[in-house]
Structure 1
Amino acid sequence: MKKICIILAAFIVAGCSFAPLKQPTLYSISPPIKPSQEIKKPSTVYISLAGCPAPFDSYFIYYKNSPFSFKPFKDARWIDLPCNMLKNTFYKALAKNGFKPALPSEAFCRISFNVYDFELVFIKKSYTAKIDVDFLINCGRNSYEFEFLKSLKLKDNSTYSSVKALNKLTMLAAKSLVGKIKRGKSPR
């Protein structure tokens, strides 16, 4: 009887340990980018990432649940690192507006950016998505810097609402970057 109990227990433990793990849902930052009026003279651009602090260099999707701590969403991951997805979105926005990617030594415009905030804040039943990116732009002889800082209130703290808001903020940052370059700072 003791052997049967041991064998039965072994089968129960083995059966539980072979249960399939739930795969996380993968999300991306890839907002739709619409071209605005193209620049008259096509130009080349190179974008570099100057800074991407933790937790924005992780595949986990984090949210702040207190002023100083981050928690990951349980069953959700980024498909790529957030800072890489931001960089790709900025390239895409510039390409749709007449800029072509180039090597740093051949690019007319060189852009570097630092990510200070790309986060979700869920504190005291207040749900917010926030982006803070600092750009340094060199186009020909013109150099300038600007910061894109914006936040959006969320209806709820679901992963879908959160990712949707971060996509919208990324699209607005890309649009702002294109606008800054085109307003008198790009080649004539």
Structure 2
Amino acid sequence: LGTPRFAERIALEQGVRPWYWFGAVGLIGAAAMLLWHRRAHLAWGALMVALWTGYGLFGYPAMNDARSGRGLLARAESAMPADATLALANVPEQMLLQAPETAFAFGFKRPAHEQLTAAFDWLRAASTHWLLTHGEPLDACLDGDRGIDLGWSNRRHWYLLQAHAIVTDCVPIDRRQTLDPAPDETDD
């Protein structure tokens, strides 16, 4: 909790930098200890009121975009042309619930490689088609440099892509199969 790596991870994954808020709560706590040094329970109460009021008014709303798909979907819609159609592949269920009514999805319960295969066909069908997906499948079949980097949300790095971002002749693989151990050659 007290290491810089923790703070860096929060800033990266949650998209917030709460240093002003932490500093303000610390100053209020220090001031309360100075004012009520003989009445520690009052200082503790003032610190807790500052902490939870600050979190409710500033901390939680600042993290909402990073923990909800709304901010990400708003960034995606503002980055696309007005006549564009959005599709979502390999996304969390909450993102499907927050997506615009006109957005396409390729089956929430389908494996990611099947969703991406269907998404590639859909992307190639029209130049107005855009795909929102996160960075995990980009290593082989999608070139994130050819798309729009939308940043971090839901602890994932998101990209908005068109058909030209698909790597030629690439077929999405079932990552679950690559994680299975190799069969033992001695078992015959």
TM-score above 0.5, yes or no: no
**Relative to total residues, which structure has the larger helix share, 1 or 2?**
2
**Relative to total residues, which structure has the larger strand share, 1 or 2?**
1
